[in-house]
Structure 1
């Protein structure tokens, strides 16, 4: 317990560098530049899926919350076990709280787990997906300090939540909780009002659960909307459930 306290005190007093070691010329999406040895500027897994979820029991009532940001290989496949086990971290909530309290507080609001502690959910998303984003590998930072890449990943993901308001994009087309809609109408609304190309997901009962937004990555952290590479036939008609929590 003492060693953990000392470690957290060290983190709290550390200066977060998080400065990229180079300026990357953006000449094309990463997947068109595959084979480059500079994986700090050309992501090895150059397709990005950014996912937000709609969980009726999770606040707020008029916002989606984050599921995660997943680097995919340029053929539409991905790693199921992460990309660097040496950087599989635990207690990421404690790490983020010590290094960036504002980010920690934000994540607790917009990146909640529907079952279990939030920090366990963040552990999973980082270990499985964050370790695959090569543009934030340790060697990509000036004066790298341990966990810089973890903090940067969470900052990048939460920035997408701030940029895109999926709830409003749907509501602007009259698509609001409590009724049935077609998948195509929801995806068209998200394209029109949020400027994303997306795939709407549902559970086995036909209840709306998530939006997956598809991007190419340019340079370190610039995302360009692209057509989804995955287009299943399910969820053609689905129910958009209201949240059971009070608006906040």
Structure 2
């Protein structure tokens, strides 16, 4: 049953997988295989939190935008400072634009910063989180050139966004902007319509801000939904604001 779910939830697609240096035949999640020396196939930080945000003045009115993809250690903790300072990059926007203009266009649309420049935001997400995804470390990628790991992180993350439509999953259960909802009803809709285990987040005023989806990593880039290890008591009732931008 687990293996079947993993096959159905393969995220990255052949265009990404072809860049890995080897094929990993793994049938168990990384957190059950800790101690393996093969961190290209067994992610050292084997839990993933994938976050999308709802910013009323950013992105299409009927889409969430990406916050980030965050590898967590298998005990639920994480590094606040990233995992490899030697691969901390700046001017990420220029790097992506030069290497993959199509990816840059996608990121500009679906991964905007809530404040400040998009490039600075992408720098932060890569430096703090992307460097902790060991399955895309330079030795794990075929014919590695500088920044291939950075591009791989962004490709994998945008592929998750393509696979899951949080807005539609909520709307299919009648949950649309402009009204108040319970956190439990929103999380139930995401589980029913997308198969995701999630947490709905809000700000101090009770306004809906984000959805965090929780995954195990199977091999390099196959993510399997899991039950969240974090269960806060806030955001029990949230206001889902409409956006002030046009539909895509």
How do 1:67-86 residues align onto structure 2 when only pairs under 5 Å count? Answer: 67-86=67-86
How far is the alpha carbon of 1:244 from its aligned partner? Answer: 1.4
- Which whole-Å deviations, capped at 9, do the CAs of 1:130-163 have from their partners, x for residues lacking one? 0000000001012210000000000000000000
Partner of 2:12: none
Partners of 1:247 and 1:37 lie apart in 2 by 47
Give the corresponding residue for 1:13. none
Specify the alignment match of 2:56 in structure 1: 56
Larger radius of gyration: 1
Report the Cα offset of residue 245 of structure 1: 1.5
Please name the residue that 1:129 is paired with: 129
Residues 44-77 of structure 1: CA deviation (Å, up to 9, x unaligned): 0000000000000102000000000000000000
- Report the counterpart of residue 97 of structure 2 in structure 1: 97
Match of 1:142 in 2: 142
Corresponding residue of 2:224: 224
- Is the 8 Å Cα contact of residues 43 and 217 (structure 1) preserved in structure 2? yes
What is the CA deviation profile of residues 85-140 of structure 1, one whole-angstrom value per residue up to 9, with x for unaligned ones? 00000001011011100000000000000111100000000000000000000010
- In the other structure, the counterpart of 2:38 is 38
3-state SS of 1:126 partner: helix
Partner Cα distance (2:17, 2:93) in 1: 19
Q: Secondary structure at the match of 2:83?
A: coil
Q: CA offset at residue 195 of structure 1?
A: 1.0
Which residues of 2 match residues 157-236 of structure 1 at below 5 A? 157-236=157-236
Alpha-carbon distance in 2 for matches of 1:65, 1:91: 21
- Normalising to structure 1: TM-score of the pair? 0.92
Deviation at 1:246, TM superposition (A): 2.1
State the shift of 1:20 in Å: 1.1
Query: Quick one: structure 1 residues 246 and 91, their matched pair in 2 at CA, closer, same or farther if it must change by over 3 Å?
Result: same
| Structure 2 unmatched runs, 5+ | 1-15
| CA distance in 2: counterparts of 1:192 and 1:70, whole angstroms | 24
Q: Give the 3-state SS of the residue equivalent to 1:122 in structure 2.
A: helix
Partners of 1:22 and 1:119 lie apart in 2 by 31
Count of aligned pairs: 233
SS in structure 2 opposite 1:49?
strand
Equivalent position SS for 1:60: coil
Q: CA RMSD for the aligned pairs? A: 1.2
Could you say what secondary structure the match of 1:223 adopts?
A: strand
What is the CA distance between 1:18 and its match in structure 2?
6.7
Contact 1:29 1:46 in 2 (8 A): yes
| 1:64–1:166 CA contact under 8 A, matched in 2 | yes
Please state how far the C-alpha of 1:26 moved relative to its aligned partner. Answer: 1.4
What is the CA-CA distance between 1:19 and the residue it aligns to?
1.8
| Structure 1 residue 37: Cα displacement | 0.2
Distance 1:37 1:17 in 2: 21
